[in-house]
A and B are shown apart, each in its own frame.
Chain A
């Protein structure tokens, strides 16, 4: 079961089954201590954190950065990308998270987390066969 962890040196918060051995921010070894969800949320939402309001442009920048060192890229077909971004942001506004515009949530939260964009599309049959995520937002580089 995933939990919250806090670095006792720099207050980085980690959410997962195990914390990283070395804190990625302050580089201290064995620095994570299990913490409460309430404490983690307070720290993450606190004044120190950079407040990022995601709009489509910032999200596009984020996914472009994410693809930089990967074998895939954001689809060069910008018309398609814009349509998908529209759907992703409408889904966040209407349904709470950036759900995939080409699949439907089941209403089982844990299951539906698999549909948050970008999803783990490397396992999609369309990626294996055609080099694209199910929607075509990401495409394998030639």
Chain B
């Protein structure tokens, strides 16, 4: 099943900035993101690592946070972005 995931980290400032935008996105649209914290949850970290081959090439060769990842389309955004860009990714 298609999932839209936000990989985030508890002490990552960009993630903190993006969380209110994700809240807004979920209020304004039908989209629901699975929010997975990766530094304090090994299962989530392993899941992110399992997508490394798809995510890393689109994020400077690394696993960065926040990463927005669509498991069906493999569309990826990483880092702090404008709301419109996030929405465009979510509604694609």
- B63 interface hit (Cβ, 8 Å): yes
Q: CB within 8 Å of A: which of B31-59?
A: 38-40, 45, 48-49, 52
Chain A: interface residue total (CB-CB under 8 A): 23
Question: Which of A88, A103, A126, A135: most chain B CB closer than 10 A?
Answer: A103
Report Cα–Cα, A88/B64, bound state, in Å. 15
Contact B11 A83 (CB under 8 A): yes
Nearest CB of B to A137, in Å: 9
**Residue ranges of B at the interface with A (Cβ–Cβ < 8 Å):** 7, 9-16, 38-40, 45, 48-49, 52, 60, 62-65, 79
Besides A87-B12, A102-B13, A134-B79, 7 other A-B contacts (C-beta < 8 A)? A84-B11, A90-B10, A94-B39, A104-B38, A104-B65, A106-B52, A107-B49
**Residue ranges of A at the interface with B (Cβ–Cβ < 8 Å):** 80, 83-84, 86-88, 90-91, 94-95, 101-107, 124-126, 134-136
